[in-house]
Amino acid sequence: MRQVFTLLAIALIASTTLQAQDGGRKIPAVEIKALNGASFNTGSIENDGNPIIISFWATWCSPCKRELNTIAEDFVDWQDETGVKLVAISIDDARNMHKVKPYVDGQSWEYEVYLDPNADFKRAMNVNNVPHTFLIDGDGNIVWQHNSYQPGDEHELYELVEKLAAGESIN
């Protein structure tokens, strides 16, 4: 039991101490795949100084699809109003990754979608479970993250996107 507490203590100290530095963290550069099989380096994710949403999802994850399909309904407005871009990272492995493009096109998503079949980018971003959503500010800093999804969360996310687009700090 003592060991678990030690482990927890390390984790908690680390998380509280380090949360403050969240502001300066950039997207790690990891080689993943585009839907057409091309290599893609995540270090090159950018949006001309506008905010970016990075959302980790999978075809077998119901809350993930609920989140991305809900956002898709209003995404044109989100883009018009804030210039935001959504990068959806599928963590589907070889079993499902070839079904990702048909699904994305079938749902008419206007997102940039990439494949991370061996979870390399997921690991670099310290994602435990999907859905997991990150917000990146205009300078490329990771400024916010959120685990799991429930209906209504998209409103909170969009309020934060609006703040970022207006140049306000969200911390």
118 belongs to the binding site for other proteins (CB under 8 A): yes
CA distance 20 to 111: 30
Which lies closer to other proteins via its Cβ, residue 11 or residue 76?
A: 11
Query: Does residue 116 contact residue 91 with C-beta atoms inside 8 Å?
Result: yes
CA distance 36 to 53: 22
> Mask: binding to other proteins, 46-65, rule CB under 8 A, as x and -?
------------xxxxx---
Number of residues that bind other proteins (CB under 8 A): 71
Q: Please pick, from the candidates 44, 48, 80, 108, the single residue that binds other proteins as defined by CB under 8 A.
A: 108
Please name the residues in contact with 130: beta carbons below 8 A apart, sequence gap of 6 or more: 56, 57, 58, 61, 64, 91
Convert 93-140 into a string of H (helix), E (strand) and C (coil): CCCCHHHHHHHHHHCCCCCEEEECCCCHHHHHCCCCCCCEEEEECCCC
Token readout for 133 is: 């959503």
Which lies closer to other proteins via its Cβ, residue 17 or residue 44?
A: 17
128 belongs to the binding site for other proteins (CB under 8 A): yes
Q: Please pick, from the candidates 19, 74, 77, 139, the single residue that binds other proteins as defined by CB under 8 A.
A: 19
120 belongs to the binding site for other proteins (CB under 8 A): yes
Q: Please pick, from the candidates 27, 54, 104, 165, the single residue that binds other proteins as defined by CB under 8 A.
A: 104
Which lies closer to other proteins via its Cβ, residue 138 or residue 146?
A: 146
